[in-house]
Structure 1
Amino acid sequence: DTVLKTAVPNLFVVPANNDLVGIDSILASDQNKPFKLRDAITALVGQQRAREPDTHFTYVLIDCPPSLNLLTLNAMSASHAVIVPVQCEFFALEGISQLKDSIEQIRATLNPSLEIQGVVLTMHDARVSLSREVAENVRAFFGAKVYDTMIPRNTRIAEAPSHGKPILLYDYDCAGSQAYMRLATEIMERERRYKAA
């Protein structure tokens, strides 16, 4: 099975595996390369519904590598919107304008409905001036697209993957978990406003 249930009700995961090694070279020769992921998601959703007819997917989230390769191109071709995480660190600002240009290119050629839904500032530390500067610059560049919620630099977030758990199951009460809960609420609110407009 490709679609795995998790400990969180109504949350399913399709994990990456070693089959993705060399995927760029495989996709490079494929005529339908920008749409392979879109087609695979459509097929997976159909298969899951056939097995469990009551299954309904409200959101499909695709976690991309921080590079603009064929996997990321496929993800953006398959998506309605992107949420851009930006670490509040020195090199974070370097790729932002390139990413924005890439999204505009994809809109023009492959996926006219692709939007930047939001930008989330991560690894934020209000005590560090660089962190505050990066947040300020990102807000100046993206304006209202930047979510109010910032994900703090948090040891518990860093520890959770080594325990095989998402942060909300690892330590629900830590600052990182609470920030992610606020972010989820903010994302859903923005989505509701977008659909209502």
Structure 2
Amino acid sequence: MENPHQMRVLVLANQKGGVGKTTTAINLGTALAAIGETVLIIDLDPQGNASTGLGIDRKQRGVSTFDVMMGERSLDAAIRPTSVPRLYVAPSTLDLLGVELAIADQKERNFRLRSALTALAGRGAMPNGDRITYVLVDCPPSLNLLTINALAASDSVLVPLQCEFFALEGLSQLLSTVEQVRKGLNPRLTIHGIVLTMFDSRNNLASQVVADVRAFLGDKVYETVIPRNVRVSEAPSYGKPVLLYDLKCSGSQAYLKLASEVIQRERNLRAA
């Protein structure tokens, strides 16, 4: 099945919280934009941390992904520019907590986001002429209807995995869910890759986790490992991606490498 969106849609998913999912969405999106892509981050987490981390004040979000998921507004009505050239965000609000209950009995409940993306692609370029090449969907830390919508709308799944003892716990459940969605809702869905986050080189256990994950998942694991870095942690409180906050820090450089690796995998997929 061909991608109907004319743009690559990657969902960042992991039902475990605190693994660097939103941080990766913000900074991978920024890094992709920095090397010439035009990126839309769709904040599908009711916590709205991706929106906050990109400097979108909660009081000024107006149209949000809640309105899109309810079918009340189009996705392009929710899209906002950020301080990063070629990087846009569709912000979320706490209202998203009520979406699952509100649309639970509706026939097309699993395809709300897919329909919104298809409509967005049909409108062509953004008003300023930018044409979106990558969409990153930041999901809540659970396998609920919002995450299912993201998986049903996406080309591939990017899984952030923290370098800690329980890293692989729950991963099999996520991979099983991806397979179920692929069979039942979205035949083109694939695993794009596993990105290891919060790596502390001083911790022997972290190095062992990296080795174990690579042994278990092989080339599904990106070569780039995101280090535990205080500048990465500080940046969201300033409403900035770490690449704007401190370009030279190890975290920023790692996300630039990850962006290059993502694009290279995309080229390999097209060539296959």
TM-score under structure 2 normalisation? 0.69
Percentage of matched positions with identical amino acids: 55
Contact 1:152 1:179 in 2 (8 A): yes
Structure 1 alignment gaps of length 5 or more: none
Higher share in helix: 1
Q: Name the counterpart of 1:55.
A: 130
In the TM superposition, what is the alpha-carbon distance from 1:133 to its structure 2 partner?
2.1
Tell me: CA distance 1:158–1:53, structure 2 relative to 1, closer, same or farther (3 Å): closer
Q: Secondary structure at the match of 2:232?
A: helix
Partners of 2:134 and 2:79 in 1: CA distance: 14
Structure 2 alignment gaps of length 5 or more: 1-76
User: Are 2:193 and 1:118 aligned?
Assistant: yes
* Greater relative contact order, per chain length (Cα 8 Å cut-off, separation 6+): 2
Q: 2:219 aligns with which of 139, 144, 149?
A: 144
Partners of 2:208 and 2:251 in 1: CA distance: 21
Contact 2:112 2:149 in 1 (8 A): yes
In the TM superposition, what is the alpha-carbon distance from 1:46 to its structure 2 partner?
4.2
Q: Name the counterpart of 1:80.
A: 155
In the TM superposition, what is the alpha-carbon distance from 1:141 to its structure 2 partner?
2.0
Partners of 1:144 and 1:179 in 2: CA distance: 18
Whichever residue aligns with residue 119 of structure 2, its letter is: A
Tell me: CA distance 1:161–1:8, structure 2 relative to 1, closer, same or farther (3 Å): same
Tell me: CA distance 1:46–1:53, structure 2 relative to 1, closer, same or farther (3 Å): farther
Please report the RMSD computed on the Cα atoms of aligned residues, expressed in angstroms.
Answer: 1.5
Contact 2:124 2:131 in 1 (8 A): no
Q: 2:97 aligns with which of 21, 25, 30?
A: 21
Whichever residue aligns with residue 200 of structure 2, its letter is: D
Q: Name the counterpart of 2:86.
A: 10
Partners of 2:103 and 2:228 in 1: CA distance: 36
Q: Secondary structure at the match of 2:138?
A: coil
Q: 1:91 aligns with which of 153, 166, 171?
A: 166
Number of residues of Structure 1 aligned to a counterpart in Structure 2: 196
